[in-house]
Amino acid sequence: MNTNVEAADKDSFLADASSLVASLLGKPESYVMIQLSDKQTMSFTGTSEPLAFCTLKSLGLNSSQTAEISKQLCEFLNTKLGIEASRIYIEFSSPERAMFGWNGGTF
């Protein structure tokens, strides 16, 4: 997650985001990694009002899931950081298992 907003309690934000993403993907939280880059210099629609650009990569992610995930993540970012849904982009991807490394190997 990249945003121009500062997350006041980063540890709490990360914990809540990790739990939410695990739930939305139906995966154990032990497979979820969250990166937060807050206070970034960013612009969207020509303004620097609160905004976010998120990337969500998940093995086996189906396009039928992305609308609901987008809705839930936008609600989360609005609640936690005050960012309106119309100022959030989320890029979804589902890499092939052999193209995703972990624990000295691939999935």
2-106: CATH class: alpha beta
Max Cα-Cα span within the chain: 43
Q: What is the pLDDT of residues 45-54, one digit of tens each?
A: 999 999 999 9
Report phi then psi at 16, rounded to 5: -65, -40
Domain boundaries, the chain: 2-106
Between CA 42 and CA 67 the distance in angstroms is 25
Q: What tens digit of pLDDT does each residue of 26-75 get?
A: 999 999 999 999 999 999 999 999 999 999 999 999 999 999 999 999 99
| Residue 90 confidence (pLDDT) | 98
Confidence of residue 13 (pLDDT cuts 50, 70, 90): very high
Rounded distance between C-alpha atoms, residue 34 and residue 31, angstroms: 10
Q: What's the confidence (pLDDT) of residue 53?
A: 98
